[in-house]
Structure formats: C-alpha cells, structure tokens
Amino acid sequence: MTGGVVSSLGKGILSSSIGKLLQEHGYRITIQKFDPYINIDPGTLNPYEHGECYVTVDGMETDLDLGHYERFTDIHTTRGNSVTTGRIYQTVIDKERRGDYLGKTIQVVPHITDEIKRRMLREDDKTEYDFVITEIGGTIGDIESAPFMEAVRQLKWELGQRALSVHLTYVPYLRAAGEVKTKPTQHSVKELQGMGIQPDVLVLRTEQHLEESVLRKVASFCNVSQDAVMQSEDLPSIYQVPVHMMEQGLDRIILQKMGKECRQDADLTEWKRVLHMQQSATAQRTVALVGKYDLQDAYKSIRESLNIAGIYNGVKVHLKFVNSELLSPMTIESELDDVDGIVICPGFGQRGIEGKILAAQYARTHDIPTFGICLGMQMMVIEFARDVLGYADADSREMNAETPHNVIDIMENQKNLTQMGGTMRLGAYDCTLSPDSKVRAIYGQPVVRERHRHRYEFNSAYTEAYEQAGMLCVGRNPDSHLVEIVEIPQLRWYIGTQFHPEYSSTVLHPHPLFVSFLQACAGAE
C-alpha cells in the first residue's frame, strides 16, 4: 500500500479496511507499517511531529496507524508490525559488526533492501498468514522511501501474482474550473512506474463523487484495469470505509488478481450492525479532553475509543478540546461547566499540568464523570493530596524532584537509566481488581491485562492516607503490587488508570471502561 500526491489521505484507514475485508472472506491477515524516518521508533517523537504514539501488547512504541489496524481488525499487532529505516539500518549494522557479511561492502542494494524484504515477508514471525498488508509511510517521490520502493519492486517481481500493489492517490476538485483533476494521479503513477512498480489497484481519494468516465480515464492512462480503479469519497465516519470499498468490489478484485477464492456470503454483517447503531444515535454528549496538544492525531486512540463507546451507548460524542495550559481558576468554570464528562489526558513533563490538576479538582468537587489516563490519573492523585489530604506541596517526582510529598514517584527500575528510547514500562501487564470496586463490576472479571507507557507510579507509602480519605487503590499488579487504578466510589464516575485502555478498544469490542464512562456521561442530564 503506497500513497501519492499528498500525505494524510488515509492510507492507514484503507489498509485497515482491506484487512477487514480479507478477514471477512475468512483469511488470516496482518498489517504492518514501514516508516522512512531514522528514529528507531516514534517513542522519542513529540506528538506534534507524528501524532500519538501507539503501544503494542508486547511493548513496542509505534505509529498511530497500528491503532487503526487493531480497531478495524481486532487482532493484536506486535513489534514486527512497525518498522522504521532506523531499525533496518541498525539490524544491518549490527550484523556487519558481528561479521555476518565478512569481506563484503555493505550497500543499500542489496543489503538494506534485503533486510526490508525479509521484514515485509515476516521471516521472523512464526504465525501463519494468508495475507501480509504492508503500508509504506510517506508519499511517492520522497527521497527517504526509495529503498522501500526498490524492495517492493523486487518482491513484486519475485512473487508474481502473490504480490499486489495498491496505490492511494488524490483527485482534487477545482472550484473555479468546476472540474476534478486527474493529472496529479497520472503523475504519481508515472513516478511509481519509473521505479519499476506497476500498481494493480488504484484508489482515488476525493471530496466529490467521481463519474464513471473519470475512473475510466485514470484506468486507461495508468495501465490499470477499469474494475480496479475505485474511489474513496469523504464519509461521515471512517468506519464506513470498509463497506464503501466492498460496495465497489475492492475485496473481490484483490482476491481475483491474486488468484484467491471469494466467499459469497462476505457482507460485513456484524460491522454494519455497529454502523447502524452509529447512524441511529440521536442524543449528543460533550466530553472535554483536557490536554496540551491541540492536534487531532495527538490523542487519536482516546478520541476513537470515546466515539466507539458513544456508539454503544446510543450517543454521538462531541469532543471538546480544552487546552490545559490555558486553564486557570478564572477560566475553569467557563471551560468545563457545559460538559458531560472529562478525560484528563496522558502526557510528559511540566507543561500544562497545573491545568490538569485544576480540571481534576473541578471535576471532583462538581461530581462530573471523569476519566484520568496515565498522567491524567497521576494528576487526580496529586490534586487529591493537595486538596483533601492537606499536602499543599504534593507533586510527582517527574515535575518536582525535591518535594517531600512525592505522591507520584519514579519506579525503582527507572532510576538509573542511561538511555531514553524504549526504556519506559511498556506493554501489557496483569492487574488484579479489588472485589468490591466499581472497576471490578465494570470489567466483570477479577484480573485484566492492560498496556502501559510510563516511568512514574503511585507512591504506595500513601495508600492508607488515600483510602481513609475516600480515594481507593482498586487495581494492582499481582507481582510488583504497583497501583494501577484509583477510584472515588462516592462520586458518580471518577476513575484513574495508570495504563492506557484506549489502546485496546476496538470497533467490535469496545473497552468496558470507556463504555461505562460514556454511560455515566450519557446519564448526566
């Protein structure tokens, strides 16, 4: 899967949709993302650079597209599903130092391209797949992605019918001319062909419905069969994309071109049921996202988890971004008095945290349903210490190393690290829930497994003080006893989790905490 003309066309959503459709035909699939930048993973990137950092069950910090893959297909991705140029080079350089290529000059072709191909073919993965969908980040023509494209060319040649190239491009509408323009698409395909890759399927992103004649024209200019050129119009919800693509026969054309069987009864029944619920939702609820990044992609999985949980509660969720840096005792009332629920977002560092603490206090004292996630949970804990326990100087060691009331402290094994990349507490860990807690009732099971990404934690020395004052530690790691969940049972819904439930909410299996939170928000009026 490649993209042309411009970025942000939704390659991740199209890859996820294709994955979903192939699953519907009974095939075992996986979807992977190859990013052309040099960072080993996006864990060290600022969300402004690359949006949210998604975390896999096995603890890899990855591109947010993996979140789409999981939400659409309900399968877990792993470290093998996210590859960067940095990781490719690191592997090759490590091999060179070990002496694996003794006597040879190491070059982009064949050594780098061979390593790319090895990963595209998932040679290290023991799981059996019928299809591996590989999405190449960036746009055709980027200098950085050239080795990826060369690997694609070689694989297409080597695998023949067993490999297929889908290219997603953009067809703009020029209002002044009153016409859609296919020239950028033609250029983009030419560029692909110049690299030796003939696309088999073209998907044209468009804001306007395209006439049959436009698709025909693109087909003939680009050497692609007519039935393999389709359009992806703007839709009210990204979850309608698989249905829209199936209606145009994308699944059938892929299977036919690859010589695979089509299941006649594949029709996305279960998926359509969710879409139907989404369309019939009438009531609207406003949920405030209190965070510091005013950017759609920064809290992608949280946004999607809330939207999905809304569907299951029959409500449309209106997300109101509240910039925590701008919150003050003067503005808090006007920012939060009209919302039905509040999410206090994850994050790192000092900037904007006083606003999150203020939001936690406003929510607690006004009994507004509130969900604190990771740093958000830590801010709930600090606020409670300052306002209820009477420790005015309570803080996290992350923000204030000197505070005598370090209610959030650094984890033991994080103290003497020499490297930043990939060293947080990452991936899924078990969490035991207290028998009479709200969360135990919400999950409906005694032990859960959730994904983490943090260095700091609740300081257990304060457990008793908190519990006596009404904030309970209701989820703990069975081995390390780290506190993973706090709740105030006296309030309608006031829960903080040290882990990130948003990473494991999918369209067909929404996360119980988000569903319950939205239920509380829906009852708010």
List residues near ligand GLN by CB under 6 A.
346-348, 374-375, 398, 453-456
| Least distance to ligand GLN, CB of residue 231, Å | 39
Task: Determine whether 374 is an active site residue.
Answer: yes
* Catalytic pick among 222, 345, 374, 521: 374
Any idea of the CA torsion for 75, 77, 78, 81, to the nearest 10 degrees?
Answer: 140
Q: Which residue lies nearer to ligand GLN by CB, 92 or 374?
A: 374
Task: Determine whether 500 is an active site residue.
Answer: yes
SS3 (DSSP) at 327: coil
Q: Which residue lies nearer to ligand GLN by CB, 251 or 457?
A: 457
Alpha carbons 171 and 191: distance in angstroms, whole number: 16
* Catalytic pick among 115, 345, 502, 521: 502
| Least distance to ligand GLN, CB of residue 375, Å | 3
Q: Which residue lies nearer to ligand GLN by CB, 115 or 398?
A: 398
Q: Residue ranges of the alpha helices (H) in 195-299?
A: 212-222, 241-247, 250-257, 269-280
* Catalytic pick among 25, 405, 454, 500: 500
Q: Which residue lies nearer to ligand GLN by CB, 67 or 346?
A: 346
Alpha carbons 100 and 90: distance in angstroms, whole number: 14
Contact status, residue 26 vs residue 44, Cβ threshold 8 Å: no
Q: In 356-434, which ranges are E strands? A: 370-373, 408-410, 425-433
Q: Which residue lies nearer to ligand GLN by CB, 221 or 348?
A: 348
Token code pair at residue 293: 């990044």
Token code pair at residue 247: 């209606």
Tell me how crowded residue 507 is: count the other CB atoms within 10 A of its CB: 25
Task: Determine whether 502 is an active site residue.
Answer: yes
Contact status, residue 251 vs residue 25, Cβ threshold 8 Å: yes
Strand order in the sheet with 29-35: 82-84, 29-35, 131-136
DSSP letter at 503 equals: G
Q: Are strands 201-206 and 166-170 parallel, antiparallel or unpaired?
A: parallel
Alpha carbons 350 and 379: distance in angstroms, whole number: 11
Q: Which residue lies nearer to ligand GLN by CB, 271 or 456?
A: 456
Backbone dihedral angles phi then psi of residue 447, each to the nearest 5 degrees: -130, 135
Indicate which residues carry an active-site annotation.
Answer: 374, 500, 502
